[in-house]
Amino acid sequence: YHLQAIQVTGPGWLESNRYDIVAKASEPVSKDQLRQMVRTLLAQRFKLTCHKETREMPAYVVTVAKGGHKMKQSEGEGEMDVKPTGKGLIVAFTHVTMEQLSEMTQSPLQGVVVDQTGLKGAWDFTLDASSFAMTQPTGIEDAINMVIQAVNEQLGLKIEQKKVPAELLTVDHAEKVPVQN
């Protein structure tokens, strides 16, 4: 459903029960097609029914900082790629859309991240974590501030916490025991 756990509500057991789902597409498919296939599988096997709604909620909003962004527009086509450069703790990101960047930052920020940069297409950039390697965060707030600082200083993007309309998924019904093959 392309949402963070914080954006999903439903029966309490959804947070504690875990399932191994082994499935394979018969041919190569796009990520969007794969997501739709998983939705169909969940509806068939778990009798999952749900609905989406939009609610005002706290989120991290990403905008371009006053000095402008420091990323380079990607050339050509390609999938997002992330790999170490071999130079310390510097990681190279290629063909990254702002939607993908927002998704990547949701986990370390532990919240919903909304892209309001207005930047279209894919981008290339590097992130250097060496300045943060010397600092041990004392809690989640320190870690969040480190991510925000790195994105601001190195990418020229600003992350602020605001209340914004965000999509939520409410699970209306799901069976605890899935239907067998």
Q: Read off the pLDDT of residues 140-169 as tens digits, 9 standing for 90 and up.
A: 777 788 888 889 999 999 999 999 998 899
Residue 166 burial (CB < 10 Å; 0-12/13-18/19+)? buried
Tell me the whole-structure pTM to 2 decimals: 0.75
What is the C-alpha to C-alpha distance for residues 148 and 63, in angstroms, rounded to an integer? 12
Please determine, for residue 57, whether its predicted confidence score (pLDDT) is greater than 80.
Answer: yes
Q: Characterize 64-88 residue by residue with b for buried, 16 or more Cβ atoms within 10 angstroms of its Cβ, and e for exposed.
A: bbeeebebeebeeeeebeeeeeeee
Please determine, for residue 131, whether its predicted confidence score (pLDDT) is greater than 80.
Answer: no
Band the pLDDT of 133: cuts 50, 70, 90: low
What is the C-alpha to C-alpha distance for residues 172 and 150, in angstroms, rounded to an integer? 39
Q: Name the DSSP class of 1.
A: -
| pLDDT score of 39 | 94
| Angle of CA points 81, 31, 174, to nearest 5° | 130
3-class DSSP state for residue 58? strand
For all residues of the chain together, what is the average pLDDT? 89
| pLDDT score of 88 | 76
| pLDDT score of 134 | 66
Q: What is the pLDDT of residues 68-82, one digit of tens each?
A: 999 999 998 889 999
Please state whether 38 falls in left (phi above 0), alpha (psi between -120 and 50) or beta.
alpha
